Structure 1
Amino acid sequence: MSIRERIQSELTAAMKAKDPVRLSTLRLISAAIKDRDIAARAEDRCGGCDHTEMMAILQKLAKQRDESADTYEKAGRLDLAERERTEAEIVREFLPRPMDEREIDQAARGVVDELNASGLKDMGKCMGALKERYAGRMDFAKAGAKVKSLLQDVA
């Protein structure tokens, strides 16, 4: 089952269960994907956005919810912070399990070795390969730091 089908199925289930928070969050996800589909069609990609783009959308939505929750907590609005955290968890249900430090380290080493990267000039090539392979699973800030340290050691 594709992510689109899964979201639609969960949306129907949330309607039947009369779960307003889940329903509104799933509608938000669906709307964000449809917006990206429209933008993709404008770029002559008739199939809409691909799996990688959907993963990026979901990551962005989860991150926005986490940031909003932090802002609400600092403002003393714990009720709104709790709702944002609940929405973030619903969004994360559609993301694959995130990679841990060890897995990020192994993936970074593997890409650097595979591409025969020999210095910081190859940083973009290595990060592009990681983003293509591990979209939605990898923390690219941590991966970037690891790749950079590996490439500095090589140079």
Structure 2
Amino acid sequence: MAEQDAGLKALLQSDMKAALKSGEKERLATIRLILAAVKQKEVDERILLDDAQIVMVLDKMAKQRRESIAQYEAAGRNDLAAVEQAELAIIQTYLPQALSEEEVSAILQAAIEESGAKGIGDMGKVMALAKPKLQGRTDMSAASARVRSLLS
């Protein structure tokens, strides 16, 4: 995984320069897409994004790529799916290390216990506690489905 000590935005900008110098067109294009999405959010909300907020932008971009890949493959457009896969691979290098199934289960179980959730009506409380620990490290829709099954 990429070093994140200097800040994710600075890392993205230095990686963009390196990709430009080395002629990595696909990597350069994807990093520019990431930086454009970050800049758009900063302009829209009139704030400077911190690393956690940038991870949320990256997570959203990764989710969009996964959905596009599924749709392209269903339509038999493997050429377009391959482009999305390449972008997804680059985006994932900037996301935190993915959690294992066991780690996700442990976080969700701890959130259920901490919130005192008794049924499906408490799902919001559980997800509010779990989301900061899971964001960018697992598929949030799968995590919420798992919480739903644990609470029902």
TM range (shorter): 0.7 to 0.9
How many residues are paired up?
147
1:3 aligns with 2:30: no
Structure 1 segment 69-88 matched on structure 2, within 5 A:
69-88=69-88
Name which of structure 1's ranges 139-148 and 68-77 shifts more when overlaid on structure 2: 68-77
Deviation at 1:75, TM superposition (A): 4.4
Can you give the 5+ residue segments of structure 1 that lack an aligned partner in the other structure?
A: none
Q: Gaps (5+ residues) in structure 2?
A: 1-5
TM-score by length of 2: 0.84
- Counterpart of 1:35 (choices 18, 32, 40) is 40
| 2:23 pairs with 1:18 | yes
Q: 1:77 to 1:102 in 2, by over 3 A?
A: same
Verify the 8 A CA contact 1:58 1:95 in the aligned structure 2: yes
Whole-Å Cα distance in 2 between the matches of residues 22 and 112 of structure 1? 40
CA shift digits 1:87-139 (9 cap, x unpaired): 11001100112222211111111111122223333211110111122211132
RMSD in angstroms over aligned alpha carbons?
1.9
* Cα distance, 1:146 vs structure 2: 2.8
Could you say which structure has the larger radius of gyration?
1
Identity %: 39
